[in-house]
């Protein structure tokens, strides 16, 4: 029973990592860049919702505030691409990596100035009570996290597989010039994907804030989401979710069964192990280029 309890709580945490990793994968799939500020995006999404919902700020009803926060974050993502990232169009991944790291710093600073550095709790209708299924205690927020994550992953997966826009996004990332020739508005497509990833980050933020207190430094969770994305292979949406779940499940088990000091190493050790053994993740999409 104890094992089952650890497994379930690990799954709920893993879904949050998976959601952040989804944001990485979305942007990677469509622009071949990695948004190192995705964790900070999530933090910002959580704080925007908090600012709209909580009594001491705007005090809107939660079910109005949540969609509003998602729209705000989507708009922010699009504008960010329009004003900042579009100027880096066609440059190397390195430039984008460094730029988004800097962006993360700025977002953390702004959030700290606006909402302060004290941990705060979102007044969310999701964070009420637990349910008890055959001895396994599960918070309502955990259930919501798992359900929403699975639905969102399915939706995004279908979006990339089935829709014209999804296909255009993949084409734009693989060869920008060829995508232009095929009549794909590459720049606008990239803006859309940044908006989409902003919305995903907001969803992740709302769910994360329902699970516990938040402060401007929770964005550093993004490092664990990297591990999730790498284990899944950066180009694969279900892979990102699977990677998130693996990391999430390993953590409680490591802290339960490993001696103190070794347990927090586990996710990173796993990350390095996967990078050494299968550098492009379990769901690989890369082949070595022949000369």
Partner 1 sequence: MRTLFKISYDDDIRLFPDRWSMLVYAALLALAFVLPMLLGEFYLGEVTNVLIWAIAGLGLMLLTGQTGQVSLGHAAFLAIGCYTNTILIELGLPFIIAFPLAGVITGLVGAIIAVPALRLHGIYLAIATIALSVLADDIIVLLDPWTGGVSGKFPEAITIFGLEIERWTMPTRFYYLVLVVTIICTLFYRNLLRSPLGRAFAAVRDSEVSATAMGVHISRTKGTAFGLSCMITGWAGALMGYYAGAFNNETFSLVISITLLMMIVIGGLGSIHGAFFGAVVVAFLPQALSILKGAVIGGGVAIPGLETGVFGLILILFILFEPMGLYGRWLKIRTWFELFPFARKDMFRRQKSYLKTERLR
Closest by Cα among 123, 106, 108, 113 to 49:
123
| Tokens describing residue 59 | 């005090």
Indicate whether 174 belongs to the interface with partner 1 (CB under 8 A): yes
Q: Which is nearer to partner 1, 7 or 187 (CB)?
A: 187
Interface segment toward partner 1; rule CB under 8 A; list 54-62, 166-174, 192-200, 238-246: 166-174
**Sole binder of partner 1 in the list 121, 158, 163, 175 (CB under 8 A):** 175
Interface segment toward partner 1; rule CB under 8 A; list 122-130, 135-143, 171-179, 197-205: 171-179
How many CB atoms lie under 10 A from the CB of residue 130? Answer: 12
Q: Which is nearer to partner 1, 46 or 247 (CB)?
A: 247
Smallest distance, partner 1 to C-beta of residue 63, A:
33
**Sole binder of partner 1 in the list 102, 133, 147, 182 (CB under 8 A):** 102
Indicate whether 234 belongs to the interface with partner 1 (CB under 8 A): yes
| Tokens describing residue 131 | 């349910």
CA distance 228 to 38: 13
> 49 to 88, contacts with partner 1 by CB under 8 A?
84, 87-88
Q: Residues, the chain, total?
A: 291
| Tokens describing residue 197 | 């990833």
Q: Which is nearer to partner 1, 70 or 107 (CB)?
A: 107
Task: Look at the alpha carbons of 158, 161, 165, 166 in this order and tell me if their dihedral is positive or negative.
Answer: positive
Interface segment toward partner 1; rule CB under 8 A; list 57-65, 70-78, 94-102, 203-211: 94-102
Task: Look at the alpha carbons of 149, 151, 154, 159 in this order and tell me if their dihedral is positive or negative.
Answer: negative
Interface segment toward partner 1; rule CB under 8 A; list 12-20, 56-64, 128-136, 280-288: 280-288
# chain residues binding partner 1, by CB under 8 A: 56
Q: Secondary structure of 43-107 in the HEC alphabet?
A: HHHHHHHHHHHCCCCCCCCHHHHHHHHHHHHHHHHHHHHHHCHHHHCCCCHHHHHHHHHHHHHHH
**Sole binder of partner 1 in the list 12, 103, 241, 247 (CB under 8 A):** 103
**Sole binder of partner 1 in the list 216, 239, 244, 252 (CB under 8 A):** 216
Q: What is the dihedral of CA 64, 66, 68, 73, to 10 degrees?
A: 180
Helix (H, G, I), strand (E, B) or coil at 17: helix
Residues that bind partner 1 in the complex, under the rule CB under 8 A? 32, 34, 84, 87-88, 90-91, 93-95, 97-99, 101-106, 108-110, 112-113, 117, 170, 173-177, 216, 223, 226-227, 230, 234-235, 261-262, 264-265, 268-269, 271-272, 275-276, 279-280, 285-289, 291
């Amino acid at each position: 029973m104890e094992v089952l309890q650890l497994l379930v709580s690990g799954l709920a945490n893993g879904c949050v990592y998976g959601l952040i990793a989804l944001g990485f994968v979305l942007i990677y799939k469509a622009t071949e860049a990695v948004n190192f500020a995705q964790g900070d995006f999530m933090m910002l999404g959580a704080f925007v919702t908090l600012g709209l919902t909580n009594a001491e700020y705007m005090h809107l009803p939660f079910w109005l505030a949540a969609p509003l926060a998602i729209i705000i974050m989507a708009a922010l993502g699009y504008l960010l691409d329009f004003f900042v990232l579009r100027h880096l169009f066609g440059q190397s991944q390195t430039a984008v990596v460094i730029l988004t790291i800097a962006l993360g710093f700025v977002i953390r600073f702004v959030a700290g100035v606006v909402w302060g550095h004290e941990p705060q709790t979102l007044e969310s209708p999701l964070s009420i009570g637990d349910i008890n299924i055959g001895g396994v205690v599960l918070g309502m927020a955990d259930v919501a996290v798992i359900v929403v994550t699975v639905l969102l992953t399915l939706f995004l997966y279908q979006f990339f597989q089935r829709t014209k826009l999804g296909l255009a996004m993949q084409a734009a990332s693989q060869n920008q010039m060829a995508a232009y020739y095929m009549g794909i508005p590459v720049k606008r497509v990239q803006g859309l994907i940044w908006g989409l990833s902003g919305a995903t980050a907001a969803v992740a933020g709302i769910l994360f804030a329902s699970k516990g207190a938040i402060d401007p430094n929770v964005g550093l969770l993004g490092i664990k989401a990297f591990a999730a994305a790498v284990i899944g292979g950066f180009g694969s949406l279900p892979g990102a979710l699977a990677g998130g779940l693996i990391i999430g499940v390993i953590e409680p088990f490591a802290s339960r069964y490993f001696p103190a000091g070794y347990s927090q190493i586990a996710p990173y050790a796993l990350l390095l192990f996967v990078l050494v053994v299968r550098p492009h993740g379990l769901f690989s999409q890369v082949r070595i280029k022949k000369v």
